[in-house]
Structure 1
């Protein structure tokens, strides 16, 4: 009912929050454009997970832990709930019914309780201070940062983390996947692309240097390996969506001996295949790994053309494989549609579609 008005709805939603509780405004960045665009994305992700109780619970508890970085307290959930219902009711107009109102009250009550439970059960810091150990430009708009948290930060390969640069853009948090499995020295790699006028991504690529301090929030995401599975694996990675895939490969090199792994790595042109030499070296060292680079807008470049999903379809069948999909929301959506056409069971597909990468 309200999807076509989501920008206006999000603006109205935040206006209601700030009017009811002006002090909350200081928890948000000065410009709210990106924050508004993510509102319905988070709600839709939660609602779509209702049919999968384990994923629903895991996502919301993780979201509650993540929101500790904003210094959210239980009273804020009531403010948000009232603003959300008021916004939906206002923009649905005559289509809104009592049944919808009650259903959304019940849904939000469950969402809030699970998020609060996740926050209350977390004994970790609200965020970790981390020092930039190295900064390397890989292409015209991509950089690889290696950071080391001051305190131990536990995560699993394939997860993502919210990041803030207090020196450059305080209160602006963006999510980036960790590009390596956990290391003994605690360092973490992040692949960052400067996106448009993105404040934080641009700063991380062009302005952050070795020795700078960043803040990292609690890890989130369910795109992790199931070591009990014996099925072969297909990775579909688009652009810097390679980050979590690289972490999963890192983990696989420590124990895998029996599962064949196929990685389709896609980019717009050959210059954006920024980590291809490393991947090819990895494939030479581990015979179970094969790499297929793909370019969508670089005709005659010498390799596969089109999207990663189109390239994968040419190699199948894949009905007996585990799939991991990582990239922009548009890339993930296109890939999931293609996998459905290839009759890959949805339960064998893991993805996180809300990373900034």
Structure 2
């Protein structure tokens, strides 16, 4: 797999600086050749193009890690059932994708690159099809919105209840579609462990995106949502006895809150340290519920820090720097959730601190 990975990365480097053109070519070719596929995609295609490129990059990076690649692709296949994707669609997508990459790679493209992309696409398609085939649940769940609260100018917390049971683990996420933006799906983490009443809690920050804006500003009790299959591996290791460090920012709080919710059910021996970073002190929504958890469970310590408010009375600085000032952390399990830049900076710091990657789980959120 290492040689395949090298070949893929070499060939992708040929088009990396023209990714937007590759994506535009891919969709134009696919919709021209297979116009029936257009109904599977949202009306607004600008963000969809970036999602395609993100999936390609993720796959290329994971080729060297067969275990995680298998888990990622099977989950992706289960999730794609909500689009009513069939095995025949994969072959149609393959023809358009290879044509787009081949065309924009130019004269440097060769038969070795062609074979590598054929092989990796067949591998991807096979695992996604297998993941979809082994799932006996519905392709998506209808859920009724129960409550909706604004927690600041751009953050909303809402709850909903699926009409049929939805099995998931604390720390996972689902994709959500709202009638306000049909055929546009965005991923959001549940902020609670599975409950007997089936209720799910979500935290959303409006970043100007179509879906996040609708969920924050337009959603109301009684509305119906569609939820995709649960995904994500940022779940607790029940066999570990190591203490836990949770690092979060923005609405990355949601999966961290779900992990805390699960820990309150059984934890007695593991110390848990929650580091929460924001730019300004008034951005710490849901502060009181977290403080109540800490009051009831002495094993939880909460450290809040701001980066852009010099007069803030508590900890100041970027959350990776604040994390470094505490510790040591050599024998802890880490869970990191927040914006892409925040997660990347934290992962780099953990690498500098020589934390084994096997003890780190993370999720990066575009809407965080």
- What is the TM-score normalised by the length of structure 2? 0.94
Residues in 1 aligned to 2:307 and 2:111: alpha-carbon distance in whole angstroms: 48
Once the 2 structures are TM-superposed, how far is the Cα of residue 355 of structure 1 from its aligned partner?
5.7
Q: Which residue of 2 is the match for residue 77 of structure 1?
A: 90
User: Which residue, 175, 185, 192 being the options, matches 2:204?
Assistant: 192
User: Which residue, 134, 145, 168 being the options, matches 2:158?
Assistant: 145
Q: Which residue of 2 is the match for residue 115 of structure 1?
A: 128
Deviation sequence 1:51-91 (CA, Å, 0-9, x none): 33222111101100100111111111011112221122122
* Superposition pairs of residues 1-357 of structure 1, within 5 angstroms: 1=13, 2-166=15-179, 168-196=180-208, 198-353=209-364, 356-357=367-368
Residues in 2 aligned to 1:143 and 1:295: alpha-carbon distance in whole angstroms: 21
Equivalent pairs counted in the alignment come to 355
Residues in 2 aligned to 1:303 and 1:90: alpha-carbon distance in whole angstroms: 55
Residues in 1 aligned to 2:293 and 2:149: alpha-carbon distance in whole angstroms: 20
Residues in 1 aligned to 2:317 and 2:100: alpha-carbon distance in whole angstroms: 41
Once the 2 structures are TM-superposed, how far is the Cα of residue 354 of structure 1 from its aligned partner?
5.3
Once the 2 structures are TM-superposed, how far is the Cα of residue 94 of structure 1 from its aligned partner?
2.8
Once the 2 structures are TM-superposed, how far is the Cα of residue 41 of structure 1 from its aligned partner?
1.1
Once the 2 structures are TM-superposed, how far is the Cα of residue 4 of structure 1 from its aligned partner?
2.1
Contact 1:160 1:355 in 2 (8 A): no
> Is 228-237 or 344-353 further displaced after alignment?
344-353
Deviation sequence 1:241-291 (CA, Å, 0-9, x none): 010000000001101111111111111211211122221221111111111
> Is 111-120 or 299-308 further displaced after alignment?
299-308
RMSD: 1.2
Q: Which residue of 1 is the match for residue 9 of structure 2?
A: none
Deviation sequence 1:136-172 (CA, Å, 0-9, x none): 1001100001000000000000000000012x11101
DSSP 3-state at the match of 1:104: helix
Residues in 1 aligned to 2:169 and 2:342: alpha-carbon distance in whole angstroms: 23
Residues in 1 aligned to 2:97 and 2:330: alpha-carbon distance in whole angstroms: 41
- What is the TM-score normalised by the length of structure 1? 0.97
Once the 2 structures are TM-superposed, how far is the Cα of residue 47 of structure 1 from its aligned partner?
2.7
DSSP 3-state at the match of 1:17: helix
DSSP 3-state at the match of 2:261: helix
Contact 1:317 1:342 in 2 (8 A): no
Residues in 2 aligned to 1:312 and 1:289: alpha-carbon distance in whole angstroms: 15
Contact 2:176 2:188 in 1 (8 A): yes
Once the 2 structures are TM-superposed, how far is the Cα of residue 347 of structure 1 from its aligned partner?
1.3
Residues in 1 aligned to 2:207 and 2:42: alpha-carbon distance in whole angstroms: 18
Gaps of 5+ in 1: none
Q: Provide runs of 4+ in structure 1 moved above 4 Å.
A: none
Residues in 2 aligned to 1:49 and 1:125: alpha-carbon distance in whole angstroms: 28
DSSP 3-state at the match of 1:161: strand
Residues in 2 aligned to 1:155 and 1:304: alpha-carbon distance in whole angstroms: 35
Contact 2:337 2:365 in 1 (8 A): no
Contact 1:326 1:332 in 2 (8 A): yes
